[in-house]
A = this chain, B = another copy of it.
């Protein structure tokens, strides 16, 4: 802020030239992308509150710490390594090879100033990583989580970005459409969550000896709802911001399809759980909103408003079915439903572009070629993420161990990992022999 300072630092005044239509358009795009990046940053507050809302009071310090770490380490590693792998030129359509620490890429054209572009991509990167946090919550060693986050943000995610969002990547060249990242971001996050939650194992008490499945309710539905609404808000940066241009008139349509899909996800999940269980289910309604948002992310610029409502409703129905499948059939313990929200709805949303894209979708007479391309992209990212994630988790497990001790898990990770409590002034319900809070009577709903 240097008001009236032009006589002191004449250098900061543009050298004698006024604004042009060209410079104004560039400014509009820069302002737009920055503000959208800020909204995506806010999604980290959303993820943090959702994860906290759906888990237990004894693990909240650990959850806060993980989320602070994810966004910070993610940004630093994406600066040092990830951005270069994603956008620094190309080697064989597979990987970027320069631009580490943003050096040596002054000749590349990102449409907007490089640093604004970097920030937008950096907050996306951290988003992919933070999805894992919820699925592995309440039993993962902090150091193990750090290393897994580093692997995702520095390597697994940037490579996928290169494939899809760098024009020379192999999926981009096939014509794969993932406008804002149903697969690039949410697929990578969701499948990493799947492999992480699987390998770290279920929380103590989640599954009984007789195979019974116990619901472990979250400790603060108000925070969970706040988090969901913050995520929804952040998605208005995530999707319309991926135009990378405020001068693109379609940003209004993209925001509208985003809004409608989220709304339809809520209504779909509400009606479905109401019919199935006799009562509308709160956690499924929150996850239904997120499922609809993840689902529309790939096609937000390609489908019509009615198409977005269809995608949202289906995601709202897929979601509780998928949660139940992983929880009861596959028995992978995912405290927040991240696998279903991000992995499953992300895959469905990516495929739905093949059906519902106004330009090229099967239902609009476009034939099956786009659908096949979409399918290829989903499977490629799934295989890449599960493979790399499996190797990473196995190595981490061998070196540091993935999981805290049973004693620490029962007492809560806050004391064990961080030496403090989240809610010092409140009296909490006592914990039973399995580390479950007493007083929870609702069992095994999903």
A interface residues with partner B (beta carbon < 8 Å): 1-8, 18-28, 30-32, 34-35, 37-39, 41-42, 44-45, 48-49, 52, 56-58, 60-61, 64-65, 67-69, 71-73, 75-76, 79, 87, 101-102, 110-119, 122, 142, 165-168, 172-173, 175, 179-181, 217-226, 228-230, 232-233, 236-237, 240, 242-244, 246-247, 249-253, 255-256, 259-260, 262-267, 270, 277, 279-283, 285-286, 289, 305-306, 309, 417-429, 437, 439-440, 442, 445
Contacts and interface: CB of A to CB of B under 8 A. Distances in A.
A261 B429 CA distance: 40
Copies of this polypeptide in the complex? 3
Nearest to A264: B76
B263 A221 contact: no
A76 B24 contact: no
Contacts of A30: 246, 249, 251-252
B28 A28 contact: yes
Contacts of A57: 425-426
A242 B41 CA distance: 20
Given A57-B426, A113-B253, A426-B429, 14 more contacts: A6-B167, A8-B175, A21-B24, A34-B236, A41-B236, A64-B221, A64-B225, A64-B282, A69-B270, A72-B289, A101-B306, A116-B256, A281-B420, A427-B427
Given A8-B173, A249-B113, A439-B424, A280 B27 contact: no
> Which label, helix, strand, loop or mixed, suits the secondary structure of the A interface?
helix
Contacts of A426: 57, 219, 423, 426-429
A37 B1 CA distance: 13
